[in-house]
Amino acid sequence: AVSMPEFVLPLSHEAFLRANRVIPGGVNSPARAFGAVGGEPPFITKAEGPYLYDLDGHQYLDYIGSWGPMILGHGRPEVKRALAEAVETGTSYGAPTLREVEIAELVAQVVPSIEKVRFVSSGTEAAMSAARLARGATGRPKLIKMIGCYHGHVDALLVQAGSAATTLGTPNSPGVTQGAVADTILCPFNSIEAVREIFAAYPGEIAALLMEPIAGNMGLVPPRPGYLEALREITEREGTLLMFDEVMTGFRVALGGAQELYGVTPDLTALGKIIGGGLPAAAYGARAEIMDHVSPVGPVYQAGTLAGNPLATAAGLTTLRLLRDENPYPKLEALSARLEEGLHRAASDAKVPHVVQRVGSMLTLFFHDGPVYDYDDAKRSDLKLFARFFWEMMARGVYLPCSQFEAMFVSAAHTEADIDFTIRAAEEAFKAIRG
Ligand code: PMP
């Protein structure tokens, strides 16, 4: 059962038992099982605006937003209408459509690094395809991957942090062979020195440096001032492609993503989450000269039965147009700053060691004094305290990410009143924890 005694979900519990008989862990993606906080997940029946609803009749303020995509909140009428219209004209053709051109044109217009873009169905595929393209286009074998950054469950990128500052990757999942990660070089996030050492050790061998420009998968960890600029300069000098995985940050921290926010343009970009407006879509893009290595123009093979799917492009294109036309980013910044301040004040008043890290509408409350610059810093957070806080917030109707190593997302459907409700819940939660 769930670990909060007063927080009982009998119908979700029954569903979870049933799910576990036919689905590994009862879930189709591991984080959803609530393993990190020691309990069972509510089963969701509906989402509307900033809210999630469960089988047992609870309403939650949603701060995961499907782990990123739902920047406009759930059930925007324009998106629902676009989807309904798309359903009427067929759900998949396996042949080109005008809507794919429209969404590609919009992406190329707003994302600085992109002239041409190829659509796929998941962020995993986008990162995997971008890595293949980098190797194919440069003719080099090796990839630099930042420790604590996640690029989906691609074999070559599913590598755990080594203990040394820079080490050759060792697989962190059974089923990933030593061979699959032999050309993956791990590097600590936010260290320019470590990157310099790697380039000195492998001259002319590195196809791409892959990174989340703002790390969101070790909790929220921004780049230090000057870090992205330095990586841009080094990779350019070394003939290595700089790849920003903006699956999480794209259309989130600014319409043009982290590359717009920081003014640093990578060679390759992976996109996902928001680009599908809540349906399965993702993409990778670059300047034309690089993308023309991709099949059928070039020899680097990549394909997809449901790539550019009519429903996914309907939801994605409508979402991107709304973001462009409504510009919710100043509002998201103000709401998120209010939340950051409120959480900080609540934790300070309760004398709970903490640091809140935030970029735009992505934020993480770490349970130590901070700051957090890399994965080692992030891992020093008090995970027991995190789990306690998580359940106290759930019991008060606030649904936070169920892992310390994920970011919270604020949506444009959240109001100031929602933020203040959340801050009051946090004040009560800290009081309960402190006894
Ligand atoms: N890259 C990043 C930065 C991500 O955050 C994620 C998913 N959280 C992925 C890639 C993988 O995307 P997907 O789950 O759609 O395969």
Residue range 75-131, pLDDT digits in tens: 999 999 999 999 999 999 999 999 999 999 999 999 999 999 999 999 999 999 999
Whether residue 59 is found in the same domain as residue 82: no
Residues with Cβ within 8 Å of residue 212, at least 6 apart in sequence: 146, 149, 150, 151, 244, 245, 246, 248, 249
366: CA distance to ligand 1 center in Å? 21
| Whether residue 150 has its Cβ less than 6 Å from ligand 1 | yes
Whether residue 277 is found in the same domain as residue 396: no
User: Is 329 labeled as catalytic in the residue annotation?
Assistant: no
Whether 4 maps to a domain, the answer reads: no
CA 352/CA 288 separation, integer angstroms? 51
Whether 277 maps to a domain, the answer reads: yes
**Nearest-atom index, ligand 1, CA of 217:** 5
For the four alpha carbons of 103, 105, 109 and 113, in that order, the dihedral sign comes to: positive
Whether residue 208 is found in the same domain as residue 321: yes
Residue listed under structure tokens 């047992």:
56
Whether residue 278 is found in the same domain as residue 421: no
Whether residue 185 is found in the same domain as residue 221: yes
Q: What is the pLDDT of residues 46-66, one digit of tens each?
A: 999 999 999 999 999 999 999
Q: What is the pLDDT of residues 388-426, one digit of tens each?
A: 999 999 999 999 999 999 999 999 999 999 999 999 999
| Whether residue 245 has its Cβ less than 6 Å from ligand 1 | yes
Residue tagged active-site, from 142, 273, 284, 374 = 273
Identify the band that residue 435 occupies on the pLDDT scale cut at 50, 70 and 90.
confident
Whether 3 maps to a domain, the answer reads: no
Whether 389 maps to a domain, the answer reads: yes
Whether residue 210 is found in the same domain as residue 67: no
User: Strands across the sheet with 241-245, in order?
Assistant: 116-120, 282-286, 268-271, 241-245, 206-211, 142-147, 184-188
Whether residue 252 is found in the same domain as residue 156: yes
CATH of the domain at 354: 3.90.1150.10
Judge whether 402 and 37 are in contact, CB under 8 Å. yes
Q: Does residue 163 register a pLDDT over 60?
A: no
Average pLDDT over every residue of 135-158? 95
Residue 171: what pLDDT? 75
Judge whether 134 and 128 are in contact, CB under 8 Å. no
CATH of the domain at 89: 3.40.640.10
Whether 124 maps to a domain, the answer reads: yes
What residues make up the domain containing 354?
Answer: 10-71+328-434
Which residue has the least CA distance to atom 5 on ligand 1?
248
Whether residue 336 is found in the same domain as residue 395: yes
Residue listed under structure tokens 């000057």:
226
CA 247/CA 56 separation, integer angstroms? 33
Whether 151 maps to a domain, the answer reads: yes
Q: Please count the CA atoms within 13 angstroms of the CA of 346 that sit on its side-chain side.
A: 26
Whether 5 maps to a domain, the answer reads: no
Whether residue 91 is found in the same domain as residue 175: yes
**Nearest-atom index, ligand 1, CA of 249:** 3
Whether residue 242 is found in the same domain as residue 357: no
CA 395/CA 39 separation, integer angstroms? 13
User: Is 273 labeled as catalytic in the residue annotation?
Assistant: yes
List b or e across 86-124, with b for residues whose CB sees 16 or more CB atoms inside 10 angstroms: beeeeeeeeeebebbeebbebbbebbebbebbbbbbbbb
Whether residue 169 is found in the same domain as residue 247: yes
What's the whole-model pTM score?
Answer: 0.96
Whether residue 181 is found in the same domain as residue 133: yes
CA 218/CA 378 separation, integer angstroms? 6
Mark which of 326, 350, 372 sits at the end of a domain: 326
Give the mean pLDDT of the chain: 95
Residue 167: what pLDDT? 54
Residue 4: what pLDDT? 56
Mark which of 326, 357, 385 sits at the end of a domain: 326
| Whether residue 411 has its Cβ less than 6 Å from ligand 1 | no
The domain total for the chain is: 2
Q: Please count the CA atoms within 13 angstroms of the CA of 201 that sit on its side-chain side.
A: 14
| Whether residue 123 has its Cβ less than 6 Å from ligand 1 | yes
The first and second tokens of residue 181, run together, are 């990660």
Q: What is the pLDDT of residues 265-289, one digit of tens each?
A: 999 999 999 999 999 999 999 999 9
Q: Does residue 3 register a pLDDT over 70?
A: no
ipTM: 0.99
Residue 73: what pLDDT? 98
CA 279/CA 282 separation, integer angstroms? 9
Residue listed under structure tokens 């670990």:
3
- Our mutation pick for probing the ligand 1 site, out of 70, 247, 364, counting the most ligand atoms within 8 A of Cβ, is 247
Whether 113 maps to a domain, the answer reads: yes
Mark which of 275, 292, 326 sits at the end of a domain: 326
- Our mutation pick for probing the ligand 1 site, out of 129, 145, 151, counting the most ligand atoms within 8 A of Cβ, is 151
User: Is 150 labeled as catalytic in the residue annotation?
Assistant: yes
